[in-house]
Amino acid sequence: MQQIIGIAANQIIQHVDVFHGNHVTYTPQGFVTAVQQANGLPLVLPIGSKEAAKAYIEKIDKLLLAGGQDISPDLFGEEPHPKLEETNRNRDLFELALIEEALKQQKPIFAVCRGMQLLNVALGGTLYQDLSLYANWKVKHVQQPTQPQFATHDVNIEKDSALYQLFGAKARVNSYHHQAIHTLADTLKVSATSTDGLIESIESIDPVQRILGVQWHPELRFEAERNEFKLFDYFVNEL
Ligand SMILES: [Mn+2]
């Protein structure tokens, strides 16, 4: 059976220089193409109500959470730090509702970058609002202006993880995050870390909750580096 993969969409709501200033619902093409190449059926889910989130989860087989804005810090009990960047509260609340329903209905979740951070917050964890708040910060985690098809930093992978089955003990990844997981939610485990100790991948401790999160962007690199496609193949066909 072809798996229906719901991809939580983002919005452009204020940039006058794209789409003539019109508001747009979108997801990066890489997610769509990668899911199609893995023989999944991508379905883009526009931001909506809690009720819509429930209805969408009933219709899909698996949920994909994409990257984007910072997470609203009040969701993990903090005031906004001066270095916090753009947030979209509607997107946060809709995706939290998607996560809650996906866990309730036992639908697997693949979470990328912001998606992984939000999943951690949804399960009770916290974030560094900016990497300057992380004492051991030594690696460049915002690789701009280097293009995303190039991997720029190493991650060390835990042996007891699904990620290890895909990549082995080490991988080299791209990096576009100025936020990171601070305290990890109780029900999650770390499956990869950067050499300066930040959490770069998560999985669920409970095998009933099928979760894979990565801090990097495989959707921007899987065409240049086929190893990264393994993440989508695994998500669509195995997770
Ligand atoms: Mn990184």
Whose CA is closest to 113, among 212, 213, 204? 213
Catalytic-role residue among 95, 203, 219, 228: 219
Whether residue 153 lies in the annotated active site: no
How confident is the model at residue 23, as a pLDDT?
86
pTM: 0.96
With cut-offs at 50, 70 and 90, classify the pLDDT of residue 13.
Answer: confident
Reported as a single tens digit per residue, the pLDDT across 72-95 is 999 999 999 999 999 999 999 999
Whether residue 81 lies in the annotated active site: no
Reported as a single tens digit per residue, the pLDDT across 169-206 is 999 999 999 999 999 999 999 999 999 999 999 999 99
Whether residue 113 lies in the annotated active site: yes
Exposed, middle or buried: residue 232 (CB in 10 Å: 0-12, 13-18, 19+)?
A: buried
Paired tokens of 60: 């899909």
Ligand 1 midpoint to CA 123 (Å): 21
Class for the domain spanning 4-237: alpha beta
Residue 176 CA to residue 174 CA, distance in Å, equals 7
Core vs surface per residue 198-227: b (16+ CB within 10 A) or e: bbbbbbbeeeebbbbbbbbbbbbbbeebee
Ligand 1 midpoint to CA 162 (Å): 19
Residue 88 CA to residue 11 CA, distance in Å, equals 9
With cut-offs at 50, 70 and 90, classify the pLDDT of residue 21.
Answer: confident
**How many Å from the N-terminal Cα to the C-terminal Cα in the chain?**
14
Ligand 1 midpoint to CA 156 (Å): 12
Ligand 1 is a single-atom ion; what residues have CB below 5 A from it? 141, 175
Element spanning 96, H or E: helix 89-104
Residue 204 CA to residue 110 CA, distance in Å, equals 11
How confident is the model at residue 18, as a pLDDT?
74
Reported as a single tens digit per residue, the pLDDT across 140-178 is 999 999 999 999 999 999 999 999 999 999 999 999 999
Q: What is the largest CA-CA distance in the chain?
A: 49
